[in-house]
Amino acid sequence: MSNEAVITFVILGVSIVLFVSERLPADLVALLVVAMLGAFGILTPLESFSGFSRSAIIIIAAILVLADGLERAGLSDQVGNLLLRLAGKGEAHLMLTVMLAAAFLSLFMNNIAAASVLLPAALGAGRKTGVPRSRLMMPLAFATLLGGMATLFTTTNIVTSTLLREEGVRGFGVLDFAGVGVPLVIAGIGYMAVWGQKSLPRPADQSPTPHAPHKDLVEMYDLSDYLFRARIPANSPLVHQRLGESKLREKFGVTLVGIQRNHKQILVPGLDTVFEEGDVLLLAGEMEVLLFRDLGGHFDILPLSKWQEEDLESESIVMAEVMVSPRSRLIDQTLGRVHFHKRYGLTVLAIWRAGRQIYVGLHDLPLQLGDILLVQGSREQLTLLRDDPDLIRLTGRETELPRRVKGKGWLALAIFVATLVFATIGPLPVAEIMLCGALIMILCHVLTMEQAYQAIEWRLVFLVAGMLPMGIAMTKTGTASLLANWMVKGLGPAGPLMMLAGLMILTILLSQAMKGAAVAAVMVPIAIQAARQIGADPRALAMGVALATSMAFITPLGHPVNILVMSEGGYNFRDYMRVGLPLTILLLLVVLLVLPLVWPLTVPPHP
């Protein structure tokens, strides 16, 4: 092994450890890989930064822009809501319809985008039919992963096609994955409908309540135990003081929910609200702790009351649940650091994370992907969240929200369909056609350039651009050949089918904790080299690896869409293992059965 191969192997090993441990963001790890490969002279500057010039980056960005255009035109919502209206009132029918809708949308959209579009609609349908959210969220996430297997437009499939072309092998077309992907979608949805749904959790607090149109959010979050009243006495330091100057949260760890003054209720008071003598404050916090503290005469705690959602709402003020979106700028930020109350005009009463409620320390708690925030604010402010890329509106009484773009639905659909048709049969490369489609969306005012920039998941772009040069380094230094040799020695004598199984199992294991694009960048060069050594078709083995990167069902860490629904569904790691492991084994067997029929593993001899 040469020095360059040793260095490449070490960089690869360290990057895998960092990806799995999540000590650093995945996109940062990818950029560090680029920097190290260049710094040690493994790659030239042109090779190091070649990832940013690959067609994969253009296709990924264009798909995200096109999908966002459909969503802004209201078409994605209409498709999701239409399918959900056809579901009927039974749990099995609703789950099946949600999965079909998710799989359909993910054929053309990023998996996260498809899940984000359907998530509020699925929750609304679940509330109306009394189906617990834990019975819908995991099927929704899994279906987006299944649908992504059947099309080129999944990130890992795009990366795989790009790496094949880099090795002088013809890449994949738009429909090349359908022959294997469609049977996988059918098998996966069938499994969830027949067997997987039996393993889905049914928490006691989420048991069905037939035809319950709306569950009280205060009751759902057990918020009544953390709400109490306090009166401001005559000599209180709070008298004539503004809310913004009072430091209630810093001094006492409480959140001001409302003020009762002269038989009137002020909900979500502004920072300029001035306290008066006799005001009764509605506070959220740990009252038991305050009872043993010196309150310094600021307020006197009153006897407990039983609270319901209607007590915290008025004609203009409502409560709702919002979720931190996958590309949110709020991730890893605290409510205090982003000035959440001032920025949105909303008060955060609680946070639902990984199946548990958090009430204390919200101001300084770093937000995570999938966190659900129980907020209180004006109907107008909550309506404005429709256009906010950082938050997804989940529940609330104000359900009829205006479309983002009026009169552009059919135009957006026509542009999208034409782009797909030309990408499938057109003479130009897929990247150029997809880019043209995205630009036409902008020129036709379906979305603006600023909105297009917001639609692009830049972390994903940098992850892919950073890891693609690793494929060059692995091929250039012989690292890929070395790893392929080890697999050939162990599995080669058993034939191409066993090699395919070995590559897929290794890929599946890595995909449970690493981003799929990073796994593809590592495993596809190995698959190509192994195929060449045993006389197999590189495209067939590469497709098996690409499909395996999407089988991230066993843990929630393998794909952001699993994390997105984890809190909303109240799931834990055991739930994913119980439902996802049999599904993964089934899909692996389907691939091993179907792929050789569609893509023969052996290369026919030249005449």
For residues 185 and 158, the answer to whether their CB atoms sit within 8 Å is no
For residues 145 and 110, the answer to whether their CB atoms sit within 8 Å is no
Reported pTM:
0.72
R_g of the chain, CA atoms, integer Å? 27
CATH H-level superfamily of 315-396:
Regulator of K+ conductance, C-terminal domain (3.30.70.1450)
C-alpha span between 98 and 124 (Å, rounded): 12
Of residues 553, 556, 557, 558, the one with CA closest to residue 569 = 556
The structure tokens listed for 362 are 């919200």
- Residues 66-117 have pLDDT tens digits of 888 877 777 666 665 666 666 666 788 888 988 998 898 888 777 877 787 7
Among 196-200, 285-289, 442-446, the minimum mean pLDDT is found in: 285-289
pLDDT at residue 85, rounded to an integer: 67
- Residues 9-55 have pLDDT tens digits of 899 889 888 887 777 888 888 899 999 999 999 999 998 998 888 88
Whether the per-residue pLDDT at 399 is higher than 50: the answer is no
Among 8-17, 209-218, 222-231, 247-256, the minimum mean pLDDT is found in: 209-218
- Residues 155-188 have pLDDT tens digits of 899 999 999 998 889 999 888 999 999 999 999 9
C-alpha span between 114 and 552 (Å, rounded): 17
- Same fold across 217-311 and 315-396: yes
The Cβ-side half-sphere exposure at 305, using a 13 Å CA radius, reads: 15
- Residues 502-540 have pLDDT tens digits of 999 999 998 887 788 888 988 999 999 999 999 999 999
10 Å CB burial of residue 151 (0-12, 13-18, 19+) is buried
Q: Which residue has the tokens 């996802």?
A: 580
- Residues 592-601 have pLDDT tens digits of 999 999 999 8
For residues 19 and 29, the answer to whether their CB atoms sit within 8 Å is yes
Q: 217-311 — its CATH code?
A: 3.30.70.1450
Whether the per-residue pLDDT at 486 is higher than 90: the answer is no
pLDDT at residue 209, rounded to an integer: 36
C-alpha span between 325 and 114 (Å, rounded): 12
Give residue 443's Cα distance to chain centre.
29
Tell me the CA distances in angstroms from 588 to 156, 187, 525, one per residue in order.
Answer: 17, 11, 21
C-alpha span between 170 and 160 (Å, rounded): 11
- Residues 337-352 have pLDDT tens digits of 988 888 888 888 888 8
pLDDT at residue 139, rounded to an integer: 95
- Contacts within 8 Å (CB) and 24+ apart, 353-362: 353/567, 354/566, 354/567, 354/571, 354/572, 355/203, 355/566, 355/567, 355/570, 355/571, 355/572, 357/221, 357/222, 359/223, 359/226, 359/284, 359/285, 359/286, 360/253, 360/285, 360/286, 361/253, 362/255, 362/335
Reduce the DSSP state of residue 161 to 3 states and report it: helix
Q: Which residue has the tokens 């049999």?
A: 582
Whether the per-residue pLDDT at 545 is higher than 60: the answer is yes
Domain residue ranges of the chain, discontinuous segments joined by +: 3-204+414-598, 217-311, 315-396
